[in-house]
Amino acid sequence: MKHFFVLACCLISGISAFSQEEKAQDSTTVNTETLDEVLVTAVRVQATSPITHSNVDKAELAKRNLGQDLPMLLNYLPSVVTTSDAGAGIGYTGIRVRGVSSQSTNVTINGIPYNDSESLGTFWVNLGDIASSVESLQLQRGVGTSTNGSGAFGASINVLTDAVSNIASAEVSNSFGSFNTRKHNAKFSSGLLNNHIEVAGRLSIIKSDGYIDRASTDLKSYFLQASYVDDNTLIKAVVFGGHENTYQSWNGLEDLDKLKNDRTYNSAGIYTDDDGNVQFYDNEVDDYQQDHYQLHWNERYNNNWTTNLGLNYTKGSGYFEQYKEDESFTDYGLNNVSIGTTTIETTDIIRRRWLDNDFYVINANANFKNEKINAFFGGSFSTYDGDHFGEIIWSKYASNSEIRDHYYDGNGKKKDLSLFAKATYRLNTQWSLFGDLQMRFVDYKTTGIDSDLSPLTIDEQYNFFNPKAGVTYELDGNNNMYFSYARANREPTRDDFQNNPDIKPEQLNDFELGWRHEKQRFKFNANVYYMQYNEQLVLSGRIDDVGNPVRTNSGESYRLGLEIESAIGISKAFSIRPNVTFSTNKNESVYASFDGELKDFGSTNISFSPDIVLGNAIVFQPNEDFQVSFLSKYVSEQYMGNTDSERSKLDSYFVNDLNITYEFKMQSIFKSIILSGVVNNIFNEKYESNGYYYTYDDTWSNPSAVTTIEGTGYYPQATTNFLVGATLKF
């Protein structure tokens, strides 16, 4: 009944959808001419562009920003599905848009690429409390517009960090909640000194024990910027980063009985001591430090011309540590141990697998704008140098190993050059045209051996041409329609090559047809998309030995969907903001080995691509100081593999949250005190938002008749939990 009630609210509202866009659009429109916004105008689109997108501003983020990672704060945007390894939304979290994995979502921060160059993934765990330093962000669905870094292959998220503040301020925030979660941060801004210089910063600590056993998270982060601004110049130096220490919960839960009766069980770190007792290693952690150094120079020459130059250096270094039982000496390049007449071939060890990388970026673009045309020209060049190596820090039997020996060493180097030109041309008061051409050149080389002690030699060059075009028609002051086409090409990752040396790059042709309607108390957007893929790198359902999803080329495939979003003002204080996506996501022909022979599975569903994703916000806001929101998310069943095996299904789930904020305006020490709270999963739904599926051939039971064994793993999400916090503003 509770599920039916909230679904009914959405259906009664016209099965439409709302992102936080209506508020953020107004903000973005006002700020597009400010020099701060020039940082991201080259990778963002305007409200009337023929690109499907949602905008979110800092005020919307702040209402739920009590410690959870940024993906969880975007959970209620259209076509978005989020997940958390630890179950509580802190630590290793992920976001999928239209069923597309996070590896295919391009992320930029102030126009600088953030995706890891080799894995193409986005590790939000390295950006603890970044939401507290976000001025605004834009989520583009589909290919979107040309952006810096690896091409968007289903979505892009571009983040603008805190803008220059004219007024001095300070604030302290503290929040507490379930699973011993706590967040503490302090922010300040000097305001403009001598009308030109501002210094601002933030320090944050987030800790949580996690919903899953031992899945603890310890995040320390910082953000510091110094800015010089006058009427036509903005020079901004931004330094941010942090250190994360996260107990591993990558294994998920394979035991279906435990999934039902012991949902929080975590197998990470398990071993058996000399007395035969089951133990868990206390330091089975991921430990990583990442620091970003950015310098931006924005210049306005006149009412028509502006330029932006951005420089970036990112340093990342860290490891994950594991206790491994009965490991073969030969797997680590070591000799067997002989004691008397006994030869010992295996040993218990503790190992660390390291990443140590450097990433440099230079972005440059120019913008020309008048009443008819808004054009951008620019480019981006990045170079990445990453070392991969392993250490044995303890061994029950040392063999011939020495302290700090590397049992494997590898290196990856990647260079990425992109050049683009794009423009919106207004033909008349009703018609405008959009064109976007991008050339991207990728050079990727690896040397050395991988963690399996196998040579990993990659030497690939890719030249990608990514054209985009669109048209917008203004029917009247309240309605516009748009159509766009965009092509994207994307290279495989290091892991893709490691799993399949013959892996191919993927290509996407994206068609979008939309209608936007806006009146004072009713806004409605509808969008039909058709995403046609060639050799799409889809999630196979399997994961590797460190929890990374394994991808495979799927030949021809497509995603066809309808997205609807709206905002309905019932009264001045009460509104409904629903969104829904209906889609069909298909591999056109799948062949796979099953029961000892190659089987044609025909047309199948693409993994991790639910047919229905629905969100809703029922908002009561009688004044600007008080707001209550009831938030709902429904995700239909989805397959974790690409063969439509019933065993690989993730059940549908329906989750509801309650969010309350109240601001007390003060006249004394504090400018205001903001109290906020959220109850997540208020109806105590037991659900899994992610998992994995694998098969292997059983050749032992009956060698004459090979049988394929299927296996699954799941990532349970937290049942009812809460967070409460207070922010003191000075």
> What pLDDT, in 10s, does the model give residues 27-62?
333 333 467 777 777 788 888 889 899 999 999 999
pLDDT score recorded for residue 102:
82
Provide mean pLDDT across the span 473-502: 91
pLDDT score recorded for residue 233:
94
Let me know if domain 2-729 sits in CATH 2.40.170.20: yes
Q: Are 421 and 468 in contact (CB under 8 A)?
A: no
* Number of residues that this document lists for the chain: 730
Between 40-44, 281-285, 411-415, 533-537, the lowest mean confidence (pLDDT) is in: 40-44
pTM score over 0.85? yes
403 pLDDT more than 90? no
| Residue 684 binned pLDDT confidence (cut-offs 50, 70, 90) | very high
C-alpha of 570 from chain center: 34
Alpha carbon distance 290, 287 (integer Å): 10
* Enclosing H/E stretch for 411: strand 406-426
pLDDT score recorded for residue 555:
84
Structure tokens at 19: 């992102």
Alpha carbon distance 308, 695 (integer Å): 51
User: Residue 367 corresponds to which amino acid?
Assistant: N
667 pLDDT more than 90? no
13 pLDDT more than 60? no
Residue pLDDT, tens place only, 367-392:
999 999 999 999 999 999 999 999 99
404, 414, 410, 357: which is closest to 388 by C-alpha?
A: 410
From the number of C-beta atoms within 10 Å of its C-beta (0-12, 13-18, 19+), residue 116 rates as buried
Q: How many Å is the maximal CA-CA distance in the chain?
A: 92
Residue, of 707 and 76, whose pLDDT is higher? 76
pLDDT score recorded for residue 18:
40
Give residues with Cβ within 8 angstroms of 638, minimum separation 6: 99, 605, 607, 608, 609, 610, 611, 649, 650
pLDDT score recorded for residue 335:
93
357, 451, 442: which is closest to 410 by C-alpha?
A: 451
623: left (phi over 0), alpha (psi -120 to 50) or beta: beta
Between 155-164, 273-282, 283-292, 698-707, the lowest mean confidence (pLDDT) is in: 698-707
Q: Are 200 and 237 in contact (CB under 8 A)?
A: no
Give residues with Cβ within 8 angstroms of 302, minimum separation 6: none
Q: E strands, 78-216, where?
A: 80-84, 93-97, 105-109, 112-113, 134-142, 154-161, 169-177, 181-189, 197-208
328 pLDDT more than 50? yes
Q: Are 70 and 200 in contact (CB under 8 A)?
A: no
311, 136, 147: which is closest to 235 by C-alpha?
A: 311
244, 252, 320, 324: which is closest to 281 by C-alpha?
A: 324
Mean pLDDT of the chain: 90
Strands 154-161 and 105-109: parallel
Alpha carbon distance 285, 545 (integer Å): 14
92, 145, 182: which is closest to 486 by C-alpha?
A: 145
Residue 73 vs residues 213, 512, 533, 701: alpha-carbon distances, Å: 24, 26, 29, 49
Residue pLDDT, tens place only, 219-264:
999 999 999 999 899 999 999 999 999 999 999 999 889 999 999 9
| Residue 697 binned pLDDT confidence (cut-offs 50, 70, 90) | confident
Alpha carbon distance 476, 486 (integer Å): 26
* Enclosing H/E stretch for 21: helix 21-31
User: Residue 12 corresponds to which amino acid?
Assistant: I
Provide mean pLDDT across the span 169-198: 96
Secondary structure class of 257 (helix, strand, coil): helix
- Tell me the backbone φ, ψ of residue 334, rounded to 5 degrees: -110, 160
Strands 506-519 and 549-553: unpaired
Residue, of 598 and 76, whose pLDDT is higher? 76
Between 119-123, 189-193, 608-612, 703-707, the lowest mean confidence (pLDDT) is in: 703-707
Alpha carbon distance 121, 100 (integer Å): 12
pLDDT score recorded for residue 126:
95
